[in-house]
């Protein structure tokens, strides 16, 4: 909104590239801020699944619903991607269950693409590789080993 007026003026005067140059950084900052506001604040490994805590809501991804866990992105800023069988199953576990919170979780699932959830590096204090390994091991549900 702030950049819309100067960008429109520049484009109207005959410099559309300048208009785009004015608006693009502001849009980028807005998208980044929206993404960061939806990033999970915490994770809890429960016996039934991975509980994801956000600013406004929490939801559960049951272990059986996780089909794959991968580390994606560049080596200097990797992210953990969790593929699930059903995004609707994840959305159904939202607490508190309000339309706004369901939309937030749906948007978070959409950002991961293909029924996946994407966590940035250092989500809940874990780097992406450690988080992926912890989730994989929890999905395997191996019995505790004796030392």
Residue 145 confidence class, pLDDT cut points 50, 70, 90: low
The more confidently predicted of residues 146 and 62 is 62
47 & 117 share domain: yes
Domain count, the chain: 2
Beta strands in the chain (DSSP E): 42-45, 49-53, 58-62, 66-72, 79-84, 116-119
Whether 117 maps to a domain, the answer reads yes
pLDDT tens per residue, range 121-134: 888 888 999 999 99
Q: Are 87 and 45 in contact (CB under 8 A)?
A: no
51 & 121 share domain: yes
What average pLDDT score do residues 103-125 get?
84
Whether 145 maps to a domain, the answer reads no
The more confidently predicted of residues 93 and 5 is 93
Identify the three-state secondary structure at position 69.
Answer: strand
Whether 48 maps to a domain, the answer reads yes
Contacts of 34 (CB under 8 A, 6+ apart): none
What's the pLDDT score for residue 36? 43
**What is the separation of C-alpha 71 from the centre of its chain, rounded to a whole number of angstroms?**
13
59 & 123 share domain: yes
Domain span at residue 56?
A: 40-140
Lowest-confidence region among 1-10, 28-37, 56-65: 28-37
Q: What predicted TM-score, i.e. pTM, was given to this entire model?
A: 0.69
Q: ∠ at Cα 107 (101, 112), nearest 5°?
A: 135
End-to-end, the C-alpha distance of the chain in Å comes to: 61
The more confidently predicted of residues 26 and 97 is 97
């Amino acid at each position: 909104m702030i950049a819309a007026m100067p960008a429109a003026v520049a484009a109207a005067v005959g410099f559309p590239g300048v208009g785009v140059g004015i608006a693009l950084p502001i849009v980028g900052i807005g998208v980044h801020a929206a993404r960061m506001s939806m990033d999970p604040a915490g994770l809890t490994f429960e016996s039934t699944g991975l509980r994801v805590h956000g600013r406004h809501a929490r939801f559960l991804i049951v272990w059986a619903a996780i089909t794959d866990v991968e580390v994606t992105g560049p080596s200097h800023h990797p992210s953990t991607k969790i593929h699930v069988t059903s995004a609707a199953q994840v959305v159904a576990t939202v607490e508190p269950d309000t339309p706004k919170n369901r939309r937030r979780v749906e948007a978070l699932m959409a950002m991961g693409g293909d029924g996946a959830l994407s966590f940035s590096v250092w989500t809940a204090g874990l780097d992406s590789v450690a988080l992926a390994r912890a989730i994989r091991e929890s999905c395997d549900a191996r019995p505790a080993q004796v030392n």
